[in-house]
Amino acid sequence: MYSLFAIMNDNVATGVLIINMSANTQKKVTNILNQQLSVFNSHYNREIEYCAGYTPSPSEIFIIDNFTDCRELFQYTSGEKTATEFNPKKHSADNIKCLFTGNSKTIILQNFDKKQVLNVNKTLFLSNSVFELSTSIGFNLPDKLAGVVTEDKIKFKSLQNLRKIFNMDKYFREATEEELKTFVANDKFYTDPGFDIIKISDTEILTKVALISKIKTMTHSISNIKKYAKQVGFTLKTTIDNGEEKIVMPTDKKEIKLLLSFLNEDIFKSGMSKQTYKSNSKRPI
């Protein structure tokens, strides 16, 4: 049977706590988690290496090899390390950020948030024909898994959910405010006076800028960028500024995102219909 552990947030000095359960409860929890694992493995039957910017199909699941963030967790699930017991008098369930369980080879991860905590201290329960005010606490188990780790490989559907548990910057990150300013200030762009991309930036814009910086699109010459735009059928607006041709940075948010998609090589032309499309995939074939 599985032991259930909690990863605590930074408000708690002890990073991992064990949730002690009765034998009967432990058996039921094990059955629930095994069912979730079975559904996870059967539903997501196509593993693909994680690729930022790619949206997986319903049957696809992302994987990251050499995922080292769970090595300490394996020490708890294998019994190598003993975790401190979760004590409601010392620890608040509000500080739980993840539940996990497993064995020496596999770890099951579940996201946890405050909505799952059951505040029943104002609830009356019937006991021996008399209602009594509850003094206990409780929480719900999530109905889906955030990820499954097998040795040093993690399988997951949502990177956003993993980021609530682990620092995923080594695999994926958004551009910082300073990086955004530097990107727009590139001498290959022409911007209107007073233009401030930070005011309209969102997750998509921050992500695209980080990806564009990673593939170094802006190191190419304007002429090469224009050739690529012609190849994929993208209308790239340029202007002459102080004798130099520059790419016009739009002021409309939708048009900015379209330009960023082009610079991130997300625009392509169909081979047969010759129509221009925006792809949701940066996954190499």
Per-residue pLDDT tens over the stretch 39-94: 999 999 899 988 766 778 899 999 999 899 999 999 999 999 999 999 988 998 99
> What pLDDT sits at residue 285?
53
Q: How far is CA 78 from the centre of its chain?
A: 27
Whole-angstrom distance, CA of residue 110 vs CA of residue 125: 29
Whole-angstrom distance, CA of residue 236 vs CA of residue 151: 47
> What pLDDT sits at residue 35?
95
Task: Check: CB of residue 60 under 8 Å from CB of residue 48.
Answer: yes
C-alpha dihedral over 10, 15, 20, 24, to 10 degrees?
90
One-letter amino acid at 195 equals: F
Classify residue 71 by burial, with Cβ atoms within 10 Å: 0-12, 13-18, 19+: exposed
> What pLDDT sits at residue 103?
95
DSSP single-letter state for residue 56: -
> What pLDDT sits at residue 88?
86
Whole-angstrom distance, CA of residue 145 vs CA of residue 67: 17
Q: How far is CA 30 from the centre of its chain?
A: 26
Low-confidence residues in the chain, pLDDT < 70: 52-53, 120, 172, 268-285
> What pLDDT sits at residue 137?
78
Whole-angstrom distance, CA of residue 44 vs CA of residue 67: 19
Phi/psi zone of residue 233: left (φ > 0), alpha (ψ -120 to 50 degrees), beta?
left
> What pLDDT sits at residue 269?
62
- Element housing 241 (H / E): strand 238-241
> What pLDDT sits at residue 124?
80
